[in-house]
A and B are shown apart, each in its own frame.
Chain A
């Protein structure tokens, strides 16, 4: 499609003009983004409501607050991030200038996902702009209201040629991926992640893949169950379970399973009231296809709580499944819905073994009063990130890299890591041209004495 070539070509020409490189320009663009978020807050929240049935305060705290924070942090720190970093020199380079220079990569592609459709475009975009690149943004077509809004708003606030929005579905994205980019950041699932990386390989384009998987949550017998279950309930059912780092399933001793269920039930009532369906704070499944997918996971399962569904409104009640078999469908794929299976294990070792038999997850959670046990779980497993005694929160700290490992992804971003992801760290050594005394040691003719030096 000629259109894609034109858009990317324009972005590249704009990048080559050099105007995205001065720090003042980048900060000016970031300030414009900040104005956009502040001025168009209502429109953004309306789009999120239309796409995911997200309530005002919810939408604000999940998507807008995080973006504003990232903007403030980035504008604040950019001069220090972008400054050349002098490095330790050795004997031969003592008189030289040696440093790492941070440079833009060129034209980068950001592909967003539908579950947090605004922040998953904005946060990478902020890092890409801060690093001095031109950016092509491809919001998810599944969250179509937000995609449409982003396509309308960005050109109103940002440099139109440097920062372009491309909308569309699979055919458009496939076409886009044939173009050459200097970095691609993709958020989505592992299957498409492989396609993105294979397309990137043709151009030797580095990629950051923020994928997913089943994030396990181990609850130790020795812990404050009420607190643990409240925190888990919050992280599991927010956004109707459609969060890449939601606790996907619980591992716990059979003796506490029913207490866990009771605590979660109580918390759900506290959060959403008696009639969840009428709570303004409970979202919906994004579309019918995903509704049917999640609903099918309930087949043959022991439903300890919830299970009500309504296809017309894509409503699935907060659901808990007990005594789930590891071989069942709900334990095969990432749930990405408000269904929480509990798999019983007899010990933390069994839990660790269970986790390690599966693909490395994006996030991992463990609840325990026992610090040693927590240390053991961290050391005995691998995951993109983890939180002990809470869920989700490690993704909120800007100084922690956010990314996956293995099937859950590669690379990381957030805060400084976004800036580094979208920068080239160029090694620079500047020597003096006049002095050659030291260099003589290395020139031929070589000799045994020289070698022994």
Chain B
């Protein structure tokens, strides 16, 4: 067990109790903040090398959003850590009943390559805030960021309590043999299953942030220009390599007709006439992903874009029209700058189409008619939902971020991350006196005692007459 020593070391630090005081947690979180400030340039450079991530995007997702989470946590930590007192019943009026937020112990955070800093750092913020030790396993696919994290994070965090492990599938498999007290995984559903199966051996609770095909319904009554901008922005951000990107569009054939020029205009507005020359458009992370995406271009017909360059791993912002449900682009999560449009007759058909498929991480609906947006919301199921925009629901830290069914289990962001990494322990501190109040519960049992017990423990419906 190559990682046994490391895990034991962290567990010993955990048992020493040093991660528990608030001051310690604040110090570590502030150090994370300094990491983001000091290494901002390196992060922008590493993510650019890894997937051509535009600096603007990298700053937004890897620095700004992370700092937001950090600040929300630092601003609220003492409040979140406090015991939550709860309502008591009649016999417990002199007792103290509360929920204690306990850390779990040693947690494992496995991050993917597409937002390689954000997707380990935001969970880590919650893990630290909740008082845990953590092992971070960044993705080997975003290798420049992996190296940056492995080499520099240790300069900021307490190395007895936080460690970075690098490597690929074999290393992760060995790592998962160890017992952790919580595992937080972001990645694909198949690997999610492997992680959960490994966790089951140790009865380790998990959060799985997975993915799927996020549908985007566009109704006939909408502001086409704004829809096109918002959808294009969400689809082409990070060259489409976003778990919550609008994966495919559902609309009528008339709307497809109207959207096409608007999409073309939005793409030109964003990236210029030749997106390949724009500093604001990313690249595909690896040859394997590039090849995979290229084969999807055969679906439907290329209405916008379609150009590729293997050397640069460049795929132009592409819109595919008249895509069929049986086409390759509709068989897997796209995770690239390709937007298929599937034509449907009406909203009901769109909803049926969505509901016939695994529940997605995100779901989008565009309409000027709020009733339509609400209908789509009410008649479908997804991790999260955004009406009339894309991606934005995950930037609000007061909303939980997570999937359902195939797209994941558990949630985080803001306080939800803190709650994910803390055990909510029910505590009752009773008075040693007033023993007579307890006598109805003791044997020998009598109907009279039972009557007393019922009276003191019963919950009455409001409005019912309590006189008998």
Chain A residues close to B by CB (< 8 Å): 16, 55-58, 60-61, 65, 68-69, 72-73, 75-76, 87-90, 92-93, 97-98, 100-101, 103, 105-106, 182, 190, 193-194, 197-198, 200-202, 204-206, 209, 211, 223-224, 227-228, 230-231, 234, 270-273, 279-282, 356, 367, 369, 374, 378-380, 382-390, 393-402, 405-407, 409-412, 424-434, 436, 439, 442-447, 450-451
Contacts and interface: CB of A to CB of B under 8 A. Distances in A.
B334 interface: no
Interface string B352-390: 000100000000001110100100010001111111110
Given A385-B425, A399-B87, A223 B432 contact: yes
Contacts of A87: 396, 398-399
B395 A428 contact: no
A443 B203 contact: no
Contacts of B205: 410-411
Given A93-B396, A204-B210, A429 B196 contact: no
Given A57-B447, A433-B223, A197 B200 contact: yes
Q: Closest 4 interchain pairs by CB?
A: A446-B56, A400-B426, A201-B196, A57-B445
B189 interface: yes
Contact of A198 (B197, B367, B435): B197
Given A227-B432, A387-B429, A434-B368, 18 more contacts: A61-B453, A65-B453, A98-B393, A98-B396, A101-B385, A209-B203, A211-B203, A279-B444, A280-B444, A369-B432, A385-B426, A394-B97, A400-B427, A405-B102, A428-B387, A429-B392, A444-B270, A447-B56
A90 B397 CA distance: 9
A424 B381 contact: yes
A233 to B, nearest CB: 9
18 contacts: A57-B450, A61-B445, A61-B454, A68-B458, A69-B459, A206-B410, A388-B429, A397-B88, A426-B404, A427-B411, A429-B385, A429-B387, A429-B389, A433-B222, A434-B226, A436-B230, A446-B279, A451-B56
A353 to B, nearest CB: 10
Contact of A234 (B87, B233, B441): B441
B294 interface: no
B54 A444 contact: yes
A382 B423 contact: yes
B443 interface: yes
B401 to A, nearest CB: 6
Contacts of B423: 382, 384, 405
Contact of B99 (A93, A105, A401): A401
Interface string B413-443: 0000000000111111111110100100111
A328 B292 CA distance: 59
Of the listed residues B397, B435, B442, B457, the one surrounded by the most CB atoms of chain A closer than 10 A to its CB is B442
A76 B203 contact: no
A401 B398 contact: no
A200 B384 CA distance: 23
Nearest to B362: A427
A180 B395 CA distance: 32
A140 B162 CA distance: 43
Interface string B74-94: 000000000000111100100
A406 B203 contact: yes
Nearest to A267: B442
B444 A383 contact: no
A148 B136 CA distance: 49
Nearest to B431: A389
A444 B58 CA distance: 13
Contact of A433 (B15, B367, B408): B367
B281 interface: yes
B229 A436 contact: yes
A234 B227 contact: no
B203 A433 contact: no
Nearest to A382: B102
Given A57-B446, A72-B461, A76-B461, A387 B428 contact: yes
A190 to B, nearest CB: 6
Nearest to A430: B387
Interface in B188-210: 189, 192-193, 196-197, 199-201, 203, 205, 208, 210
B56 to A, nearest CB: 3
B288 interface: no
Contacts of B73: none
A193 B449 CA distance: 37
- A contact patch SS: mixed
Interface string B45-68: 000000000111101100000000
Contact of B430 (A68, A103, A393, A433): A393
A16 B351 CA distance: 13
Contacts of A397: 86-89, 92, 97, 426, 428
Nearest to B15: A356
B229 A439 contact: yes
B86 A390 contact: no
Contacts of A211: 203
Given A405-B423, A427-B393, A444-B278, A433 B388 contact: yes
A389 B396 contact: no
B441 A444 contact: no
Contacts of A270: 442
Contact of B426 (A190, A394, A427, A445): A394
Nearest to A58: B445
A387 B430 contact: yes
Contacts of A407: 203
Contact of A426 (B59, B382, B406): B382
B86 A444 contact: no
B401 A446 contact: no
A294 B193 CA distance: 38
A75 B446 CA distance: 30
B404 A424 contact: yes
Contacts of B208: 204
Interface in B330-348: none
Interface string B301-324: 000000000000000000000000
A425 B411 contact: yes
A426 B385 contact: yes
A193 B203 contact: yes
B400 to A, nearest CB: 5
Interface in B205-262: 205, 208, 210, 222-223, 225-227, 229-230, 233
B409 interface: yes
A396 B386 CA distance: 39
A445 B270 contact: yes
B167 interface: no
A189 B33 CA distance: 43
B203 A389 contact: no
A201 B197 contact: yes
Of the listed residues A73, A190, A397, the one surrounded by the most CB atoms of chain B closer than 10 A to its CB is A397
A198 B373 contact: no
Nearest to A72: B459
Nearest to B181: A406
B280 interface: yes
Contacts of A387: 427-430
B368 A227 contact: no
